[in-house]
Structure 1
Amino acid sequence: MSRQTFLEPFNAKAMSYAEVARTFVPSTKFTQLAGAWNSVLVGPRGGGKTTLFKMLSVEGQEAWTGAAAEPYKQTVAYTGVYVPSDIAWGTMLESLIEAGQDETVGILFSEAAFVTHVLLSVAIGIDRHVALNPVLRLEPGAETATDEPTQADLERVIATIARLWKVQPVSLSPASLVDALRERLLNIKRDTRLRAKLKLTDTPTQEYLGIDMLESASQALQAFDAAYRRPHHRWCLLLDEFEVAPMHLQKTVLAAMRASGAQKLLLKVALAPCGPDLLYDQQGSAPPSQNNDVQQVQLWYADKTEAIEFCQQVFLSRSSIYPALAGKMPSEVFGTSAYAVVDDSEDAAQIDLFTLTGRNKKQVTEQFQALAEKDPTFQEFLRRKQIDVSRELGMQPSDRHGNTLRKIAPLVAFRNAYKGKSVGKKRGVKPFNTAYSGWESIAAISEGNPRWLIGLITRIMSNNDQVQFPVPTPQQTAGVQWNCQRYAEMLQSVANEQFGSIKTSTPIYDVLSKIGDYFHNRLVTATFVEDPPMSFVVDERVSDDVEHALRIAVNHGAIVCYQIAADVGGFPTLRGLRFRLTYLLAPVFKLPMRKSKSVSLSTILEAKPETPTSQDDPTANPAGQLIQGDLWAN
């Protein structure tokens, strides 16, 4: 098996539309996003926002073939125009302000660059449509009565669009229109640099200033569709990575969403979960509403069953071309794991993980017995529950204490691996890596993030010189640990400022480490409880500086929110919200992957190292059980 090609990590931004479409796996997120409505797509880095947007574009739709694609393609009742982000939108504004220019002038040039960028993408879409649907070229004096668009129709509409957009193409063709807009982008950047360097103070008069994005694009597309005899056709702008755009541009686009629902042009915007504050006061007008103006889609999975199913489809889409894996399910390749318990549901798939026989059943029983011998608090727990670990342990619903035993089995294994014989002490042993092998664990660690999943599997399989299934546990855990450590190292180097508005003096990874160490200590050295806290609520005692560090962590997928973002564009504040560490950090901080109750973040940050509380934290969220229901609700 090739070391170079198997499940190679990808970044859709650098891939062609054909490459993205070749292994694209539609999900419920895609269905929610794809409809003929305005949308805001919210997700962390690597969550798949660019992939979804490229697949909604006309180029992505053309490249996506096969019977499975047709039902989804029918829901895309518009021509999608992909608009990549450009940091120049913000740097223009910054450079002019730094040079002493009036902020209004800077905003004008920044908006001009953005609008031209959008119009350029629209012009490319028009050019592509004409290439795929050529107009009739009639001979001079020929009959002109036809239902098909002619060359004369096309030239008239290009002339109309050129007047609307204030450009002068060298010929009346879509390609020439594209060239003229590219030239305008260069002119805008040149004019901006000159104003900044020469510190010009005169009033700018360039024709490209002040053009409205929505109106100029809509009117041009109305004229084009009229020429093609399809007046009711719709188009959609797909604005990717829009969190990098200056705040005034975000305001402009979100405001447009409130007015564009029934018009020619739909808007779909991709944003990080925590960007600049989008709850703005736009001269008294309200931001768009999720219920009335936009469909908001979040690229993280509240339902773990849905995430695992999506992960399986991603695996199958990329593994079927390899002879050794063709026709194999991921559970055959990686085996199963009884330690990937992330909730206490009694569905068949969960119970099957604990259908223990022979050697496996003996190993689990030995874990319970070993912990009971060295942990008086676990002995007390067993006494209260009337559980006799000297007898055979049954973990099916029909067994006595079956549900309880199944729920705590992973906790017992973790605690036994790390707990020393002295009260409150840990022992120095090798990491409990078995918990992070098996398909359920790999899928959970990926969080349903396709880039993370592909990276995990790529690393695991890259060392598989001889095909052996299931892949040996040491090989799986080595690949998982390598990826998780690289992710932790990335978080350690993350900048303490994002988008010019999220700034913190607290290193992001320091906060994550305090949270992870606290949970590990509660799991290992504190009094044994059936449900130790593994999640936290950002309470009012947490400083703004720490909250800003967490906002950056959210944007990188390092912490996962249990609740949906109620506001359009993500989370304007994290206070009062419940989070857990991403499972990609579970091997780093030696934590199980499970649903649990919560504790206030201020309690975690104020705890002294290696001295966790010996009983349940009285400040733990009293409504934790109600909140956690939101995470796994169907």
Structure 2
Amino acid sequence: MSRQTFLEPFNAKAMSYYEVARTFVPSTKFTQLAGAWNSVLVGPRGGGKTTLFKMLSVEGQEAWTGATAEPYKQTVGYTGVYVPSDIAWGTMLESLIEAGQDETIGVLFSEAAFVTHVLLSVASAMDRYAELNPVLRLEPGVDNTTGKPTQADLERVVATIAKLWKVQPVSLSPTSLVDALRERLLDIKRDARLRAKLKHTGRPNQGYLGIDMLESASQALQAFDAAYRRPDHRWCLLLDEFEVAPMHLQKTVLAAMRASGAHKLLLKVALAPCGPDLLYDQQGNALPSQNNDVQQVQLWYADKTEAIEFCQQVFLSRSSNYSALAGKMPNDVFGTSAYAVVDDSEDVAQLGLFTLTGRNKKQVTEQFQALAQKDPTFREFLHRKQIDLSLELGMQPGDLNGNTLRKVAPLVAFRNAYKGKGDGKKRGVKPFNAAYSGWESIAAISEGNPRWLIGLITRIMSNSDQIHFPVPTPQQTAAVQWNCQRYAEMLQSVANEQFGSIKTSTPIYDVLSKIGDYFHDRLVRATFVEDPPMSFIVDERVSDDVEHALRIAVNHGAIVCYQIAADVGGFRTLRGLRFRLTYLLAPVFKLPMRKSKSVSLSTILEAKPDTPVSLDDPAANLAEKSIQRDLWDN
């Protein structure tokens, strides 16, 4: 196997449409997003928002071939126009205000840059369609008897669009429209810069100011489709990374989604889970509502079975290019892990991890016996549950205490690895790496995030020319630990401000560390229980400053919410919501990957280190009552 990068870690923004389409794996998220309706795509950094938008664009649809592509293509029903973000939309507004210009002037120039950016993408899509569907070029005086559009039809359309958009193309062709709009972008940036530097006052009179994005694009596309004899055709703007746009642009676009559903133009917007659009008072702004106006899609998985299935498809889409992996499933390459327990499911795949035979059965029994020798609270638990370690342990539903043993087995292994012989003490720092190898663990750690998954597998496979499988556990765990530490280091350097509106004086990683250390202490030092807390609820005692730190953590995927975001665009508030640390931080804080009961965040933050850990948390009990029961049952 080549020592070159195994699965090519990627950032779809910098990749061509062909490169994105070559290994694209459609998921249920893609199906929810792709339909002919307005959509808001919410997800953390690296969650795959750009990939999904590029695959819905006309270029992505052209590049996507093969048997799996056709069923999806038939359901799209529109031409997608990919619109990448541009930080100039915001910096232009900021620079004008800093130079003493009226905010209204800054908003006008910022909107002009945004609208021109959108129209440029629309013109490029029309140009591409015209290239693939050439018009008839008739000699003068010859009648058109085919019903197909002619060169004269196309020129009339371009002239109409140029008038609508206030541009002067050098020729009446879609390509000239593209060139004219590129020139306009330069003009807008130059005019805004000169106005700021020369401190011009008074009303600006540039013709490009005040053009409405939705109307100008819709009317142009109606004219274009009429020329091509397809008046009922629909288009869709795919506005990527829209959280970087100024708040006034987000207001404008989100409000437009209420009215655009029955028109020529659909809107799909990608946003961070906690963006500036959620911090202003939306009442009275007639913004869209979920289900009625928009389909909101969240790029995180409450159902881990679905996430693992998606991870498997990502693996297979890329591993087929490597001869040593041909025909192999992920479990063949990485083995299995009985420690990747993320819920209490009793499906066949989950139960299969706990089929104790031979050496594995001996290891599990030894873990139980070793912990019982040094932990009196565990011995009391065994006595209360009437579990006799001198008997053979079985973890299937039909075995004596099978469900209980299966549920606590990973906890026993973690606690035994880190607990010292003294009461409430922890032993050395040697990590319990066995929990972070095997396919189930790798898939769980990736959270269904394709970039994270690819990064994990790349690191595992790039250390040697692997031809014997499964990959040795030390090689897996070393690679996983390396990736997780790099992620933790990134979080330590994350800025305490995002989008100019989410600001905190509390370092983001400090909050995460307090949470992770608290959970580890509850797992190792407190009285042994079947379900130690591994999740938290942001209660009312948590300060706004800490909540803002958590908002930034959400945007980076560092914490995962158990609930669906109630507001269009993500979470307007985190209070009352239940979260857990991302499993990508589990190896860093020495935690198992599982669902569990919760504790209030204020209790975590107020806990003092190196003190006995209380198992009682009245604040958490009150908070838990506000959580819907079905969230606990998933």
Q: What range describes the TM-score normalised by the shorter chain of this pair? A: over 0.9
- Cα distance between partner residues in 1 of 2:623 and 2:573: 20
What whole-Å deviation, never above 9, does each CA across 1:334-353 have from its counterpart, x for those lacking one? 00000000111111111100
Contact 1:597 1:625 in 2 (8 A): no
**Mapped pair 1:117 → 2:117:** yes
- Cα distance between partner residues in 1 of 2:332 and 2:616: 40
Change (3 A) 1:282 1:354: closer
Secondary structure, in 3 states, of the residue corresponding to 1:619? Answer: helix
**Mapped pair 1:486 → 2:498:** no
Q: How does 1:621-632 map to 2 (within 5 A)?
A: 621=621, 624=624, 627=627, 630=630
- Cα distance between partner residues in 2 of 1:429 and 1:284: 56
Q: Name 2:496's counterpart in structure 1.
A: 496
Q: Name 1:236's counterpart in structure 2.
A: 236
Q: Name 2:567's counterpart in structure 1.
A: 567
Contact 1:518 1:612 in 2 (8 A): no
What whole-Å deviation, never above 9, does each CA across 1:570-606 have from its counterpart, x for those lacking one? 0011000000000000000000000000000000000
- Cα distance between partner residues in 2 of 1:430 and 1:574: 35
Q: Name 1:250's counterpart in structure 2.
A: 250
Secondary structure, in 3 states, of the residue corresponding to 1:269? Answer: strand
Q: How many residues align?
A: 634
Q: Name 2:615's counterpart in structure 1.
A: 615
Change (3 A) 1:337 1:624: farther
Give unmatched runs, 5+ long, in structure 1. Answer: none
Q: How does 1:37-436 map to 2 (within 5 A)?
A: 37-278=37-278, 280-281=280-281, 284-436=284-436
- Cα distance between partner residues in 1 of 2:2 and 2:616: 51
Aligned sequence identity (%): 89
Contact 1:272 1:555 in 2 (8 A): yes
Q: Name 1:581's counterpart in structure 2.
A: 581
Contact 1:302 1:630 in 2 (8 A): no
**Mapped pair 1:514 → 2:514:** yes
- Cα distance between partner residues in 1 of 2:600 and 2:471: 40
Contact 2:100 2:199 in 1 (8 A): yes
Secondary structure, in 3 states, of the residue corresponding to 1:268? Answer: strand
Deviation at residue 617 of structure 1 after TM alignment: 3.0
Deviation at residue 283 of structure 1 after TM alignment: 8.1
Contact 2:576 2:626 in 1 (8 A): no
Secondary structure, in 3 states, of the residue corresponding to 2:324? Answer: coil
Q: Name 1:29's counterpart in structure 2.
A: 29
- The residue identity in structure 1 corresponding to 2:398 is S
- Cα distance between partner residues in 2 of 1:60 and 1:632: 39
- Cα distance between partner residues in 1 of 2:403 and 2:346: 8
- Cα distance between partner residues in 2 of 1:70 and 1:306: 22
Q: Name 1:451's counterpart in structure 2.
A: 451
Change (3 A) 1:283 1:532: closer
Contact 2:82 2:237 in 1 (8 A): yes
Secondary structure, in 3 states, of the residue corresponding to 2:82? Answer: strand
Deviation at residue 468 of structure 1 after TM alignment: 1.6
Contact 2:484 2:587 in 1 (8 A): yes
- Cα distance between partner residues in 1 of 2:7 and 2:300: 22
- Cα distance between partner residues in 2 of 1:632 and 1:348: 21
- The residue identity in structure 2 corresponding to 1:531 is D
- The residue identity in structure 1 corresponding to 2:44 is P
Secondary structure, in 3 states, of the residue corresponding to 2:560? Answer: strand
- The residue identity in structure 2 corresponding to 1:218 is S
- Cα distance between partner residues in 2 of 1:283 and 1:533: 37
Contact 2:459 2:479 in 1 (8 A): yes
What whole-Å deviation, never above 9, does each CA across 1:435-473 have from its counterpart, x for those lacking one? 000000000000000000000000000013241200000
What whole-Å deviation, never above 9, does each CA across 1:330-381 have from its counterpart, x for those lacking one? 0000000000001111111111000010111010000000000000000000
Deviation at residue 279 of structure 1 after TM alignment: 6.5
Is the deviation greater in 138-147 or in 611-620? 611-620
- Cα distance between partner residues in 2 of 1:419 and 1:561: 30
Contact 1:595 1:628 in 2 (8 A): no
- Cα distance between partner residues in 2 of 1:82 and 1:612: 55
Give unmatched runs, 5+ long, in structure 2. Answer: none
- Cα distance between partner residues in 2 of 1:390 and 1:36: 62
What whole-Å deviation, never above 9, does each CA across 1:173-223 have from its counterpart, x for those lacking one? 011000000000000000000000000002100000000000000000000
- Cα distance between partner residues in 2 of 1:318 and 1:295: 30
Secondary structure, in 3 states, of the residue corresponding to 2:479? Answer: helix
Cα RMSD of the aligned pairs, angstroms, is 1.3
Deviation at residue 631 of structure 1 after TM alignment: 5.0
Secondary structure, in 3 states, of the residue corresponding to 2:620? Answer: coil
Change (3 A) 1:627 1:363: farther
Deviation at residue 6 of structure 1 after TM alignment: 1.1
Deviation at residue 147 of structure 1 after TM alignment: 1.1
Deviation at residue 139 of structure 1 after TM alignment: 1.2
- Cα distance between partner residues in 2 of 1:178 and 1:105: 26
Is the deviation greater in 79-88 or in 461-470? 461-470
- Cα distance between partner residues in 2 of 1:10 and 1:494: 21
- Cα distance between partner residues in 2 of 1:512 and 1:228: 56
Change (3 A) 1:600 1:108: same
Contact 1:303 1:633 in 2 (8 A): no
Contact 2:99 2:199 in 1 (8 A): yes
Deviation at residue 144 of structure 1 after TM alignment: 2.4
Question: What TM-score comes out, normalization by structure 1 length?
Answer: 0.98
- Cα distance between partner residues in 2 of 1:425 and 1:236: 60
- The residue identity in structure 1 corresponding to 2:549 is A
- Cα distance between partner residues in 1 of 2:298 and 2:286: 22
Contact 2:250 2:277 in 1 (8 A): no
- Cα distance between partner residues in 2 of 1:286 and 1:61: 33
- The residue identity in structure 2 corresponding to 1:401 is N
Deviation at residue 632 of structure 1 after TM alignment: 7.6
- Cα distance between partner residues in 1 of 2:444 and 2:200: 57
Change (3 A) 1:161 1:326: same
Contact 1:417 1:429 in 2 (8 A): no
Contact 1:508 1:549 in 2 (8 A): yes
Deviation at residue 611 of structure 1 after TM alignment: 2.0
Contact 1:302 1:631 in 2 (8 A): no
Deviation at residue 630 of structure 1 after TM alignment: 4.6
Contact 2:525 2:613 in 1 (8 A): no
- Cα distance between partner residues in 2 of 1:609 and 1:383: 31
Contact 1:29 1:297 in 2 (8 A): yes
- Cα distance between partner residues in 2 of 1:419 and 1:190: 65
- Cα distance between partner residues in 2 of 1:106 and 1:429: 55
Deviation at residue 142 of structure 1 after TM alignment: 1.2
Change (3 A) 1:63 1:254: same
Change (3 A) 1:40 1:283: closer
Contact 1:302 1:632 in 2 (8 A): no
Contact 2:242 2:269 in 1 (8 A): yes
Deviation at residue 614 of structure 1 after TM alignment: 4.0
